[in-house]
């Protein structure tokens, strides 16, 4: 489950392996914290011990009091390409539209399969690109999800 949250956080960076965004985070090991919605918090509270153990086993930290899910991952161009290939985004989604203003990357992606969907993402980097905040809005006929969080580089992979 944490992987899904992190992938939502990375989706704007990894939309197309051949068309990487003009503004990327610094390579290295990153810690990403995603804010949980009240519905997600309730679902985690109802999750059985096996599901919670699986989250912990994946290296994620679920803090229901703070309403956050935190984990780490290695970020570099190769990881973007591998993730993109595993998701088949090139087949399902149109070319991303990137807009850069200072240290802010805005990405809009429209996908057609399996359901028509859109992603609007705003990522604000610090000047060194070793920390950022993000806000993603994902919309489809069956899912509307607003995801916020932050990430920061914690070292080398």
CA distances for 98 relative to 41, 107, 119, angstroms: 32, 5, 12
Tokens 């006929």 correspond to what residue? Answer: 141
Looking at residue 23, what is its pLDDT? 82
Confidence of residue 109 (pLDDT cuts 50, 70, 90): confident
**Phi and psi for 14 in degrees, rounded to 5?**
-115, 20
Task: Give 62's contacts (C-beta < 8 A, 6+ positions apart).
Answer: 44, 52, 55, 56, 68, 69
- Please give the model's pTM, rounded to 2 decimal places: 0.78
Stretch 73-77: mean pLDDT: 84
DSSP output for 24-78: -PPSEEEEEEEEPPHHHHHHHHHS-HHHHHHHHHTT-EEETTTTEEEEEEEESHH
Q: Work out the mean pLDDT of the chain and round it to a whole number.
A: 82
Stretch 42-66: mean pLDDT: 89
């Amino acid at each position: 489950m944490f992987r899904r949250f992190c992938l939502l956080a990375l989706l704007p960076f990894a939309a197309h392996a051949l068309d990487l965004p003009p503004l990327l985070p610094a390579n290295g090991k990153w810690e990403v914290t995603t804010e949980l919605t009240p519905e997600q918090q309730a679902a985690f509270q109802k999750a059985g011990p096996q599901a919670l153990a699986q989250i912990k086993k994946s290296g994620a930290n679920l803090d229901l009091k703070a309403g956050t899910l935190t984990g780490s991952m290695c970020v570099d161009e190769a990881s973007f390409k591998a993730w993109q290939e595993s998701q088949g985004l090139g087949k399902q989604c149109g070319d991303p539209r990137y807009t850069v203003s200072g240290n802010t990357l805005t990405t809009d992606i429209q996908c057609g399969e399996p359901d028509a969907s859109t992603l609007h993402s705003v990522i604000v980097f610090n000047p060194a690109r070793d920390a950022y905040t993000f806000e993603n809005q994902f919309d489809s006929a069956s899912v509307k999800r607003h995801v916020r969080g932050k990430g920061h580089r914690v070292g080398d992979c």
